[in-house]
Structure 1
Amino acid sequence: MKFLVKVLVPCRLALQVQLRATKTIPTYSLCVSSNLPYVNTRTMAQRSITSFFKVTPSKQVAKEEISDKDNGIVNGDDSSSSPDNTKISKRPRLESSDSDSSPKKKQQSTPDGKVKKKVKRQRIESSGSEAEASSENDHSPAGTAPATSPLPKKPQIKVEKSSPKTYQSPKSKKKKPLTEPNGIKKSPSPKKIKKENSTEDTIHESTVKEEKGDVLELSSPEQLVPEAEYDPSKARYHPVRDACWARGRPVPYLALARTLELVEATSARLKIIDTLANYLRSVIALTPEDLLASVYMCLNQLAPAYEGLELGVAETYLMKAVAGSTGRTLAQVRAGVAREGDLGRVAEAARAAQRTMFPAPPLTLRGVFAALQDIARTTGQASMNKKISKIQTLYVACRHSEARYLIRSLEGKLRIGLAEQSVLQALAVATVLTPPGPDGVTELDASKNMSPEQFKARVESQALSIKSAYCQCPHYGRLLAALLRHGASALADHVRLQPGIPLKPMLAHPSKNVSHIFDRFEDEQFTCEWKYDGERAQIHVPAGADGAAPDLQGAAYPDILRRLPALLKESVTSCVLDCEAVAYDTEKKQILPFQVLSTRKRKEAREEDIRVQVCVFVFDLLYLNGEPTVQRPLLERRALLREHFRETPGEWQFATSRDCTTVDEVQQFMEEAVKNSCEGLMVKALSGEQARYDIARRSHNWLKLKKDYLDGVGDTLDLVVIGAYLGRGKRAGVFGGFLLACRDPDSEQYQALCKLGTGFSDDQLRDLTAELRPLQLAAPRAYYSAGAAPDVWLDAAAVWEVRAADLSLSPAHRAAIGRVAPDKGISLRFPRFVRVRPDKRPEQATTAAQVADMYLAQDQVKNSAASLAHYDEFY
């Protein structure tokens, strides 16, 4: 039997075995479309109006006389101004000065002429300021004049009562339509204003279809919110009235940039979720086809994670693109980055200082998303030059903060404190407030009929449905399509686990000792399995067979795939297996350390070149013959696994397990695991609802007990190297110590946790120094949080496993700051290097929340500090 193979990478290792060449994942095509333009109106400066009409006490009487005469002119038959007067109304001060200096005008100057001139100037200025005064009245209480205008009410009333078509001055018979200066439309009458206010008060009771002639079908650019002023963080946000684009039009990229800018400006998680939810509401109501691109861009992704489509353009190439587009030198851009610590902000400032004769069309979200996908897929000869050219095309079209987030997206790091769980929560809030359905959006604000308690419960229920569906099928294309068509309540029926789309595995919480296991599983049935020291793997076998030749391009384990038929019995048509790939000595029949496995080639490996053999230990069954099994208890899943699959010693084996009931049995089984080169034990609930497979969760229904836990903290930590210290003495010439950090997904920061200098041999230090020197930085990244600076800053790329005696509060380190103490972080006491983790990315490092959990789990802390709630969280 032959198999079609595709590599999947949601965890340490994921393998997909396809028996059919056809793909079921839909393809999304995005077209670039120019955005609806808008017009900025201009009004007369307020200072020029108020300075002209400011009345001093000494001139009050004269002004009243002038006003009476002016009324006669305004109410007369000839009430339209001449073209000359129209010209004067645009620049009254300049024209007045010119006329005073004219000899001809001086000869005609008489007391009566002065009065007429003042009357004419007042009339013209009154006409020119009418739009501005009316605009201010829109924001003033009804029946009151704006505080900034001392213009008497009587002349204003008479001007508005003049003929709506034409009026003439005594000097001219020519007629001209009555319009405001600079083409400004007249403000609505009090009656019209009242009607609009009434509409605004009842807007939340209207449906999208009811508002078709009002705010949904915005066709005039003047009715749209200016893109630069778009604010989804405002209170009582309206998804249509407060949007900056019309229904059916592409979402402007500036709308997303403004949203990200507001998210970056706040650290309050609830405010972040509300801001993003309001933006998503507008997308759902006006342009639902852009929802997928919106979610991906917020997450800084271009496709499902297992497809491996990533940008990550090197910072040097981005600097060249910015420099080449703005007329700066590369040295100037480098200096700006060293000063700011953020290439995105440097690019934004450089673009703002640049002026172009022919501005590029505004960027649309779908256009930027498609361009970024194109850049990521560009390969081959001269591919980098092609990428830089495409980047420059996008960059020169950026406005305002667009450049900042475009460059950060290209770097692969938005750094705005927006975690994936927050995006899913915002999606839940958005769909509760503006629920989609088979007929589209039928209600803009569904919360008006709910109490605060009902709204909160609805959001939590919907969030759980969305997160659970995404865990089973981590493919936003399928998730969002089902969400828009069927709603969140029906996601479980339309988005399900299926072979070919890898899912995030269930993880375990650490346990320090055997007694803790019995405290957790008191009066419950549990089983213990050996914890193997290898790479977590998923094997996907879709249904069907067509004899297609295997496609091994990119496969790291071709030897596993070749012998896969030996594992499957005839009863298996499709399956998903959870397992561990371990280095194995086939002659001595024993497990080898993880360091041996890490020497295997990880990309495009050929079986004839493989020197390290692998045995796969299967311990769970997630899908069998068309049906997910994750909701079944482990006891049933284990029985199905052994019924439908067969073992081959040294190639395919079931995880060694034992159902223990006493402390002595657990301790004895632990000793056997350690003797057979395993890390320790995995302890799992065996029956009941707690024995289900919780996808993408770190659950207390699984506990891990390592041999290292028994005399130290409850777990080793996977930390990111962000700095180094120069060696001294016998370590001169190499790095002698390192600054390590944990990851805080909420703030997207790497927070310094400890200084590490023990556990290395001299050879290891030489090798590690050679590996880390290319990662040196001139300045720390903007997303590093550290108390004291090391000798050398390093780019966050290397992940190391570290063991420690315990954890303590520290004012010098920033890890988990604010989670346990408001002004102190957490640090490791007596940290020791264990090994390099080449199988882990910095995004998979130990989190700040896990560090806080480990600190509070210590016996010396339990009795003196409040413990964090023990819940099974998504990760």
Structure 2
Amino acid sequence: MTSFREFSQACRMIEATPGSLEMTSQVAELLKRVSPEELPIVTHFVMGEVFPAWSSQEVGVGAGILYAALAKSSGLSVNDIEGLIRDTGDIGETAVKALAKRSKGQATFSSFMEEAPDISIHEVFERFQAISRSSGKGSQTSKIKNLQYLFNCATPDEVGYIARLAVEDLRIGVGEGIVRDAIASAFNVPVATVERAFMLTNDMGLVSITAREGGAESVEGLGLQLNRPIRMMLAQIAPTIESAIADIGEAAIEWKFDGARVQIHKDGERVSLYSRKLEDISGSLPDITASIRKYVHADSAILDGEAVAMDERGRPRAFQDILRRLRRKHEVDSTAKEIPLSINIFDIMYLNGKGLIDAPLVKRREMLEGCVENGDSIRVDRQVVTSDPEEINVIYTEALRAGHEGIMIKNPQSPYSPGKRGKNWLKKKPVMETLDLAVIGAEWGYGRRTSFMGSYALACHDPKTGRFLPVGKVATGFSDEQLSELTAIFSDLIVMQSGTKIELKPQVIFEVAFEEIQKSTNYESGYALRFPRLVSVRDDKSLEDVETIGRLEEMYRLQRERGINPGSAEVGGK
């Protein structure tokens, strides 16, 4: 078995490496070095995650639990731990310093004794599994004890990476792209083959062990699997209907519903529903589940759709009403009566044992219409294939009048590309595109909002490094009630505090509107949002949905082409 010390040493080397090619080489060497049993674990660990994205398992360790475990292991107080966090700005460095400062009266730690046996990678993973399984009364105590055990068994070099893994923020600059290339290099499999397998499985650990044991041929054999959700295909903004038709030609036009994306897996009588974040929401949506069983005539299928809540006038209800349904764990039936949902299905990726993502949209559409019967709360979304801008404008106007967001403009010959955002799917909305951004920090308010986090730091994502790059702050669009709710949510995500400033673990997504994107030297992304305001908290989205730095660059370019003033080079706060 490989010791966690070896993993920590590899992480330290990777963390100190500036170039992505060199980092890829070091990750590849690490993947080749560990045992087959450890390979999937290490693949996830090096990406800063403990479990695959599709899994319902989560570590569930917040700042309070982590600080308490460090306090118990070190003999320091929780206040001392918080002080170290303010000094270091990093939970890993804090863990190292805390255990180095342990009180003389504290019990001797085996982790700091020369004769102590090394803790293995697999033992660390098993402890995280135990933490994940902890629930109900006494779960917090159980989590603290398991973390305390890990800290007590680890060397000073290891505790930092254990602490970072506990909050799934390894901070060594390794993202999906580097791990994809490392797997390809380590096991002699084409990069494109690795990427496609990851698209279909949403599990880089599974891809890595398959590549090691079976090579390219086995990786090519990986495919969709029922009850293991895949990332959903995404759309780019279309500046105009005319430009979209110029790019695509004849296009498939559909309404863009004001609802929540739902991925549906039907396996006989078993129906599983997944949110855009790939969370299993089947128990919250019994009405949708019943409709799928009744109206989807297939032994097995994976479908893509949008859940919509309508009011008594036939207009879409507020998005927050839909989120109430998705979040509901108790009194589900009464909430379903209060907020009934319907599902508009617009794509199919799998049917009766056969994957369909490589089939063109026009073919998938035929198969979708052949197996889904329209019912009271389920329907196949209406689609019109045309290249006539006037006809498309009519459909666009109809969608807006019905209270929905706009239209989708799709290439009829396009495959279904999980997790990809490209020009095969375009969306046209009447207002400038909003952005989905990660919340990475906050500041305590003042005046009557002193007890609330009143301003939030936003970031886009850099897929090459896996880092989140600041793009500005948002402090408008919040009610006091919403600020109170958000403060409670973010209290479990605090990484460090210094004065009124707070660093948060990236987990919550804000949909933000803005006047324009401007160049900025004050933010690491190089861009800033002018007059940002909160549109909604996107509980249905995950970090994979956060806008990329490439997306901001493209939107900035489109602004310039449309003649919007790009603004000052010094916009934004420090």
TM-score range, shorter chain: 0.7 to 0.9
In 2, Cα distance between equivalents of 1:546 and 1:346: 47
Shift in CA distance, 860/632, structure 1 to aligned 2, threshold 3 Å: closer
Q: Does 1:514 align with 2:244?
A: no
Q: Does 1:793 align with 2:475?
A: no
1:577-604: CA deviation from partner (whole Å, max 9, x where unpaired): 111111123x544433323322325142
Shift in CA distance, 619/768, structure 1 to aligned 2, threshold 3 Å: same
The answer to whether the Cα contact below 8 Å between 1:424 and 1:466 also exists between their aligned partners in 2 is yes
1:254-300: CA deviation from partner (whole Å, max 9, x where unpaired): 111111112222342222111101111222xxx22321121122233
How far the C-alpha of 1:682 sits from its partner, in A, is 0.8
Q: Does 1:464 align with 2:192?
A: yes
How far the C-alpha of 1:863 sits from its partner, in A, is 12
Q: Does 1:487 align with 2:215?
A: yes
In 2, Cα distance between equivalents of 1:719 and 1:478: 27
Moved over 6 A (4+): 730-736, 775-780, 861-865
The residue correspondences of 1:751-770 to structure 2 (distance < 5 A) are 751-758=469-476, 760=477, 764-770=478-484
Shift in CA distance, 407/559, structure 1 to aligned 2, threshold 3 Å: same
How far the C-alpha of 1:719 sits from its partner, in A, is 4.7
The answer to whether the Cα contact below 8 Å between 1:620 and 1:637 also exists between their aligned partners in 2 is yes
How far the C-alpha of 1:554 sits from its partner, in A, is 6.5
Equivalent residue in structure 2 for 1:640, among 367, 390, 408: 367
In 1, Cα distance between equivalents of 2:4 and 2:25: 20
Amino acid at match of 2:79: A
Equivalent residue in structure 2 for 1:527, among 252, 258, 262: 252
In 2, Cα distance between equivalents of 1:646 and 1:778: 44
How far the C-alpha of 1:421 sits from its partner, in A, is 2.6
Equivalent residue in structure 2 for 1:832, among 511, 533, 536: 533
Shift in CA distance, 862/281, structure 1 to aligned 2, threshold 3 Å: farther
The residue correspondences of 1:146-185 to structure 2 (distance < 5 A) are none
The answer to whether the Cα contact below 8 Å between 1:338 and 1:778 also exists between their aligned partners in 2 is no
Amino acid at match of 2:421: R
Query: SS where residue 283 of structure 2 aligns?
Result: coil
* Equivalent in the alignment of 1:427: 183
In 2, Cα distance between equivalents of 1:810 and 1:282: 43
1:444-480: CA deviation from partner (whole Å, max 9, x where unpaired): xxxxxxxxxxxxxxx6xx1110111121122456434
In 2, Cα distance between equivalents of 1:779 and 1:420: 23
How far the C-alpha of 1:314 sits from its partner, in A, is 2.1
How far the C-alpha of 1:864 sits from its partner, in A, is 12
The answer to whether the Cα contact below 8 Å between 1:297 and 1:369 also exists between their aligned partners in 2 is no
Query: SS where residue 313 of structure 1 aligns?
Result: coil
The answer to whether the Cα contact below 8 Å between 1:415 and 1:747 also exists between their aligned partners in 2 is no
In 1, Cα distance between equivalents of 2:411 and 2:229: 24
When Rg is computed on C-alpha atoms for both structures, the one with the higher figure is 1
The residue correspondences of 1:627-706 to structure 2 (distance < 5 A) are 627-649=354-376, 651-687=377-413, 691-706=414-429
* Equivalent in the alignment of 2:162: 406
The residue correspondences of 1:545-560 to structure 2 (distance < 5 A) are 555-560=283-288
In 2, Cα distance between equivalents of 1:735 and 1:383: 28
Unaligned runs of 5+ in 2: 103-107, 272-279, 567-574
Shift in CA distance, 339/326, structure 1 to aligned 2, threshold 3 Å: same
What is the total number of aligned residue pairs between the two structures?
Answer: 547
More strand by share: 2
1:68-107: CA deviation from partner (whole Å, max 9, x where unpaired): xxxxxxxxxxxxxxxxxxxxxxxxxxxxxxxxxxxxxxxx
Equivalent residue in structure 1 for 2:548, among 844, 847, 855: 847
Shift in CA distance, 608/799, structure 1 to aligned 2, threshold 3 Å: same
In 1, Cα distance between equivalents of 2:454 and 2:480: 10
Equivalent residue in structure 2 for 1:294, among 42, 45, 55: 42
The answer to whether the Cα contact below 8 Å between 1:469 and 1:492 also exists between their aligned partners in 2 is yes
Equivalent residue in structure 1 for 2:523, among 800, 813, 826: 813
Unaligned runs of 5+ in 1: 1-249, 433-458, 817-824, 866-875
The answer to whether the Cα contact below 8 Å between 1:720 and 1:742 also exists between their aligned partners in 2 is no
Q: Does 1:538 align with 2:263?
A: yes
1:665-720: CA deviation from partner (whole Å, max 9, x where unpaired): 22221111111111111111113xxx1111221121111111113xxxx4444452
* Equivalent in the alignment of 1:305: 53
The answer to whether the Cα contact below 8 Å between 2:517 and 2:529 also exists between their aligned partners in 1 is yes
In 2, Cα distance between equivalents of 1:780 and 1:330: 14
The answer to whether the Cα contact below 8 Å between 1:554 and 1:603 also exists between their aligned partners in 2 is no
Amino acid at match of 1:810: S
Shift in CA distance, 533/861, structure 1 to aligned 2, threshold 3 Å: closer
The residue correspondences of 1:774-789 to structure 2 (distance < 5 A) are 774=488
1:496-535: CA deviation from partner (whole Å, max 9, x where unpaired): 11222111111111111122212212xx331111001111
In 2, Cα distance between equivalents of 1:319 and 1:591: 44
Query: SS where residue 707 of structure 1 aligns?
Result: coil
Shift in CA distance, 490/553, structure 1 to aligned 2, threshold 3 Å: closer
How far the C-alpha of 1:608 sits from its partner, in A, is 3.4
In 2, Cα distance between equivalents of 1:336 and 1:251: 31
Query: SS where residue 620 of structure 1 aligns?
Result: strand
Shift in CA distance, 798/621, structure 1 to aligned 2, threshold 3 Å: closer
The answer to whether the Cα contact below 8 Å between 1:804 and 1:832 also exists between their aligned partners in 2 is yes
Shift in CA distance, 415/721, structure 1 to aligned 2, threshold 3 Å: closer
Equivalent residue in structure 2 for 1:342, among 87, 90, 93: 90
Shift in CA distance, 342/752, structure 1 to aligned 2, threshold 3 Å: same
Query: SS where residue 173 of structure 2 aligns?
Result: coil
The residue correspondences of 1:201-212 to structure 2 (distance < 5 A) are none
* Equivalent in the alignment of 2:143: 387
The answer to whether the Cα contact below 8 Å between 2:14 and 2:26 also exists between their aligned partners in 1 is yes
Equivalent residue in structure 2 for 1:722, among 423, 436, 441: 441
Query: SS where residue 793 of structure 1 aligns?
Result: strand
Shift in CA distance, 297/338, structure 1 to aligned 2, threshold 3 Å: same
Amino acid at match of 1:858: Q
In 1, Cα distance between equivalents of 2:205 and 2:27: 19
* Equivalent in the alignment of 1:314: 62
Equivalent residue in structure 2 for 1:742, among 431, 451, 460: 460
Equivalent residue in structure 2 for 1:330, among 68, 78, 84: 78
The residue correspondences of 1:35-184 to structure 2 (distance < 5 A) are none
* Equivalent in the alignment of 1:361: 117
TM-score normalised per structure 1 = 0.58
In 1, Cα distance between equivalents of 2:246 and 2:153: 62
The answer to whether the Cα contact below 8 Å between 1:727 and 1:735 also exists between their aligned partners in 2 is no
In 1, Cα distance between equivalents of 2:119 and 2:252: 57
* Equivalent in the alignment of 1:566: 294
Higher relative contact order (CA 8 A, sep 6+): 2
* Equivalent in the alignment of 1:52: none
Amino acid at match of 2:186: A
In 1, Cα distance between equivalents of 2:507 and 2:296: 39
Amino acid at match of 2:470: A
* Equivalent in the alignment of 2:10: 259
